[in-house]
């Protein structure tokens, strides 16, 4: 990786000097971010803070400069005034009006380029990858900062950083725990819990709602008015930043061959679509947008002004709200009441705060004329703005969706009936977790969140799954085809539940075997839920039938492990006795289970260790039907000793408490034709789903009809739900 100075020299042609040199250029925030992350893993907390804080400042500076330059240049080169000499077209000379328009375009481009270059340097200097942009949108820098500040005992700053990160990541379990811990610490005050990235319009809106809820209507109106002003200021800044480079989005740059006016149209429609989304972005608090954010300001304002006996402002805000929802009966009644109280004649002279529909009209024209996609973010867009064909299509889609929803509901009831019938015939899983010979608990396994159970499945089921592995497993499956991903002394092969079910439907492996894989993984899930007394369901994150085979000629003087010691949802740094719960670790995993299928091999024992990855706390010998289950976090580092002879097979299962990360399983075939009716679609859906479940539930092998089409399900406990 090139250093910052090198990058600056290459892109600007300037020899980098100390900061007081007249040629000093703002350091790229992506390099500062990388430097901070590197310092984090070295434990250099001061460097983490210096680089990460500077990265945040420099990113804000880049945004501010671009906003100021583009707004300033827009004001200097407005398109509204006609240039001198651009009257009627002169025959044979082209349109002078066109020339005047493009003259202003060129002047604005020169203005923006000059302004940004003078303040920021080369245009490419501050370009960053999408990955880096995503990290800043997720507020990841504050996650690093809260740790660094905590390490140097700056609790007020650590709390603020943690709170700021959590506002954008409210489902981050570890950060919620950190915040709970901070609340109990001496020296931490309520005022330390502040959002360092809070946007003023949103803060004022939330303050207004608080006063409104307490019937403090005058104060509420003041804050809502500030929120409206700040919203439009932020909206203007967001919109001007949309005027960037064209995103080819599916086009090959070299193959894009539109003419002048089509190129202008494509780019301008993309810019307008981006500008329309700004309102949605500004309506987002934490990770969820408020419904009808802008109209709701005027709804709150009209009632606040009425209760403050300011009828003129109440009428203005009520009329403004009706621009968004002209058929709202409650607001029309309010307006009529206010008008009577103020006087009809005076009320008629009060105008709403205006808004323009021209942008939406242009975007819908682009959709109708050129097929340029536009997803309208607003629910209040008047229907007359939309092309008639689109209105008719949306109406038909709504009717079709309603019919399909009803059919899917009926289908799910049928599927659940089949599942219940199967559950009645299955053994009572609760008996499995009751204390019995062979069971080992946390205490016996010298740790926490650990359990060992024997006879979870029968010897026949073990043999069935071993046969499935040898028939369907691929070398290096799950490891990009690398046949020896963990040790050169062993060959690894595996098959997922999705692949097994697909092969079963295609008749390439016995469907009975694929069904057994599905059933035993579901049984393991239920056992973990019951044993660990979970209040929320576990979802499958990944299911893998795996075998490790010793390579005979590579066993001499082996000292490595079959699978190095690791944790399942964090990055184990054994030298520091730490486990860092950050990507690329599978941070969403919460519980794990290994179900063993055989014991006719040498080596291959499963081990738990301490965080140093060396001190073994428990060692487990695999055998058919034995299952070890455990929490997937840093409390349970684990590995596998070398398999020195034979083949070791097991079902490896990872679970999550977050349904967003559940494993996808489905049936794959061809797709319905574009002309398929909704009735035909529902017939296909019913046939596909029932055939899939029948294949899982019945002991008779069925073959999928060649005319069936793809159907994707998500595993939800013992049920498959449409994703």
- For the annotated catalytic residues, the residue numbers are 648
Q: How many residues does the chain have?
A: 723
Bridge-based pairing state of the strands 638-640 and 606-609: antiparallel
Distances (CA, A) of 405 to 146, 412, 675: 46, 10, 20
Residue 609: phi and psi, rounded to 5, are -135, 175
Peptide bond into 584 cis (omega under 30): yes
Q: Which of 691, 688, 686 is nearest to 710 (CA)?
A: 688
E-strand ranges in 449-528 read: 450-453, 474-475, 490-496
Look at residue 114 and give its three-state secondary structure: helix
Helix (H) / strand (E) element for 162: namely helix 155-168
Residue 40: phi and psi, rounded to 5, are -60, -45
Residue 79 neighbours by CB distance under 10 Å = 11
- For the four alpha carbons of 73, 79, 80 and 83, in that order, the dihedral sign comes to positive
29 DSSP assignment: H
- Cα–Cα distance for residue pair 132/609, rounded to 1 Å: 35
- Cα–Cα distance for residue pair 342/337, rounded to 1 Å: 9
Complete DSSP assignment for 601-629:
SEE--EEEE-TTS-SEEEEE---TT-EEE
Q: Which of 216, 330, 522 is nearest to 338 (CA)?
A: 330
Helix (H) / strand (E) element for 636: namely none
**Residue 689 contacts residue 513 (beta carbons within 8 Å):** no
Distances (CA, A) of 380 to 201, 317, 626, 651: 21, 16, 59, 52
**On the CB side of 3, how many CA atoms lie within 13 Å of its CA?**
4
Look at residue 546 and give its three-state secondary structure: strand
Burial class (CB in 10 A: 0-12, 13-18, 19+), 537: middle
b (16+ CB within 10 A) / e for 408-442: eeebeeebeebbeebeeeeeebeebbeeeeeebee
- Cα–Cα distance for residue pair 82/64, rounded to 1 Å: 30
Distances (CA, A) of 520 to 473, 523, 664: 17, 5, 17
Residue 602 neighbours by CB distance under 10 Å = 13
- For the four alpha carbons of 703, 708, 711 and 716, in that order, the dihedral sign comes to negative
- Cα–Cα distance for residue pair 594/597, rounded to 1 Å: 10
Structure tokens at 645: 């002879």
Quote the crossing angle between the two packed helices 311-324 and 329-342, to the nearest 10°: 150
In sequence order, which residues have a C-beta less than 8 Å from that of residue 645 and are 6 or more positions away? Answer: 550, 552, 555, 601, 602, 603
Paired residues of 550 in beta bridges: 490
Q: Which of 524, 523, 468 is nearest to 496 (CA)?
A: 468
In sequence order, which residues have a C-beta less than 8 Å from that of residue 102 and are 6 or more positions away? Answer: none
């Amino acid at each position: 990786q090139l250093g910052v100075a090198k990058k600056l020299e290459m892109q600007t042609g300037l020899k980098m000097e100390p900061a007081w040199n007249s040629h000093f250029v703002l350091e790229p925030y992506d390099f500062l971010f990388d430097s901070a992350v590197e310092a984090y893993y070295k434990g250099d907390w001061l460097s983490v803070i210096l680089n990460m804080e500077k990265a945040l400042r420099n990113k804000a500076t880049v945004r501010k400069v671009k906003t100021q330059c583009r707004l300033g240049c827009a004001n200097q080169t407005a398109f509204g005034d006609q240039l001198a000499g651009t009257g009627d077209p002169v025959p044979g000379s082209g349109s002078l009006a066109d020339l005047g328009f493009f003259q202003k375009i060129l002047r604005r481009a020169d203005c923006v380029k000059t302004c940004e270059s003078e303040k920021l340097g080369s245009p490419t200097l501050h370009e960053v990858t999408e990955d880096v942009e995503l990290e800043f949108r997720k507020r990841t820098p504050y996650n690093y900062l809260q740790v660094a500040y905590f390490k140097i005992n700056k609790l007020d700053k650590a709390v603020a950083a943690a709170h700021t990160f959590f506002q954008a990541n409210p489902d981050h379990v570890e950060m919620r725990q950190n915040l709970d811990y901070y609340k109990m610490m001496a020296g931490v005050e309520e005022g330390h819990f502040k959002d360092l990235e809070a946007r003023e319009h949103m803060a004022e809106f939330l303050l207004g709602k608080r006063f409104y809820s307490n019937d403090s209507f005058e104060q509420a109106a003041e804050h809502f008015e500030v929120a409206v002003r700040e919203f439009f200021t932020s909206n203007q800044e967001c919109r001007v930043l949309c005027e960037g480079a064209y995103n080819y989005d599916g086009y090959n740059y070299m193959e894009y061959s539109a003419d002048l006016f089509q190129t202008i149209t494509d780019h301008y429609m993309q810019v307008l679509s981006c500008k329309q989304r700004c309102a949605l972005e500004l309506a987002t608090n934490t990770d969820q947008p408020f419904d009808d954010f802008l109209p709701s300001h005027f709804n709150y304002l009209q009632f606040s002004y009425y209760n403050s006996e300011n009828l003129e402002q109440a009428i203005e805000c009520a009329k403004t709200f009706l621009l968004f929802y002209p058929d709202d009966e409650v607001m029309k009644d309010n307006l009529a009441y206010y008008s009577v109280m103020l006087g009809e004649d005076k009320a008629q002279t009060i105008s709403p705060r205006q808004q323009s529909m021209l942008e939406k009209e242009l975007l819908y024209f682009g959709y109708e004329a050129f097929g340029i996609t536009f997803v309208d973010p607003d629910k209040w867009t008047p229907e007359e703005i939309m092309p008639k064909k689109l209105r008719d299509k949306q109406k038909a889609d709504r009717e079709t969706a309603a019919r399909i929803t009803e059919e899917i509901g009926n289908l799910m009831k049928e599927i659940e009936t089949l599942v219940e019938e199967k559950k009645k015939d299955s053994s009572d899983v609760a008996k499995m977790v009751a204390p019995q010979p062979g069971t080992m608990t946390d205490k016996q396994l010298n740790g926490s969140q650990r359990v060992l159970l024997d006879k979870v499945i029968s010897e026949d089921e073990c043999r069935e799954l071993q046969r499935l592995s040898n028939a369907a497993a691929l070398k290096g499956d799950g490891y990009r085809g690398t046949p020896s991903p963990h040790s050169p002394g062993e060959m690894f092969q595996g098959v997922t539940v999705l692949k097994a079910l697909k092969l079963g439907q295609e008749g390439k492996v016995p469907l009975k075997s694929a069904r057994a894989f599905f059933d035993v993984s579901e049984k393991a899930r239920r056992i973990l839920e019951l044993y660990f007394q979970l209040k929320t369901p576990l979802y499958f994150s990944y299911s893998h039938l795996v075998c490790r085979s010793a390579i005979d000629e590579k066993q001499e003087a082996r000292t490595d492990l079959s699978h190095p010691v690791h944790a399942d949802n964090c990055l184990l740094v054994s030298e520091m006795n730490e486990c860092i719960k950050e990507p690329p670790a599978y941070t969403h995993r919460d519980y794990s289970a290994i179900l063993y299928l055989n014991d006719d091999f040498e080596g291959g024992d499963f081990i738990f260790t301490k965080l140093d990855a060396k001190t073994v706390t428990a060692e487990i010998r695999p055998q058919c039907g034995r299952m070890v289950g455990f929490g997937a976090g840093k409390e349970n580092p684990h590995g596998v000793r070398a398999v020195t002879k034979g083949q070791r097979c097991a079902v490896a299962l990872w679970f999550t408490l977050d349904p967003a990360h559940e494993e996808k399983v489905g049936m794959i075939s061809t797709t319905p034709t574009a002309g398929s009716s909704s009735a035909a679609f529902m017939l296909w859906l019913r046939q596909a789903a029932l055939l899939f479940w029948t294949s899982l539930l019945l002991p008779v092998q069925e073959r999928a009809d060649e005319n069936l089409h793809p159907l994707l399900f998500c595993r939800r406990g013992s049920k498959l739900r449409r994703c």
